[in-house]
Amino acid sequence: MSKKVFPSVEWFREAADLLAKSDSFKQFGAADAQMGVQVGDKTFKIVFDAFEITDVEEIASPDAADLDFTLVQEPEEWKAMLQNIKDNGQAEHEFTLNSLDLHTEKELAVGKDYNRRDLFYRFNQTIQDYFDMSAKIDTEFAI
């Protein structure tokens, strides 16, 4: 397995491929959301469509696409979260997406429309599994 650079389209696609091979969708059901991930000045669009991720692309900004919500952290916070996942096989409590969203002063999941942003909470476990797949990725950080 070759190293994948985080953040990059290739890294997010690798996580999507690993999620597709897991039983996450069987456990938690379909997920339908257009999620943004913002890391510094880079933003990525990841489309969950029923039982698969159908699109991963880098976009100009969170406002440049029709996103339901965007996960926003500082680059060093993304690195700490992903390192915790790598070290433990999955996120420990303080590094889960839910904990990062609820226990920090700023929200992790942001969006202009509350009902659409609510998809983060509705599909949280599938999205967490998506990031937990990074434990299997040989990651090189470019942040």
What the chain holds in terms of domains, given with CATH numbers, is: 4-137 (3.30.1050.10)
Quote the percentage of the chain above a pLDDT of 70. Answer: 98
Does position 33 have pLDDT exceeding 90, yes or no? yes
Rounded Cα gap, residues 133 and 138, in angstroms = 11
Check if the beta carbon of residue 56 is closer than 8 Å to that of residue 12.
yes
Q: Tell me what pLDDT residue 1 has.
A: 60
Q: Tell me what pLDDT residue 55 has.
A: 97
Rounded Cα gap, residues 3 and 10, in angstroms = 10
The pLDDT-based confidence of 64 (bands split at 50, 70, 90) is: low
Does position 77 have pLDDT exceeding 70, yes or no? yes
Of 14-23, 56-65, 83-92, least confident by mean pLDDT is 56-65
Rounded Cα gap, residues 112 and 28, in angstroms = 26
Does position 43 have pLDDT exceeding 70, yes or no? yes
Between residues 15 and 28, the one the model is more confident about: 15
Rounded Cα gap, residues 23 and 16, in angstroms = 13
Rounded Cα gap, residues 49 and 39, in angstroms = 23
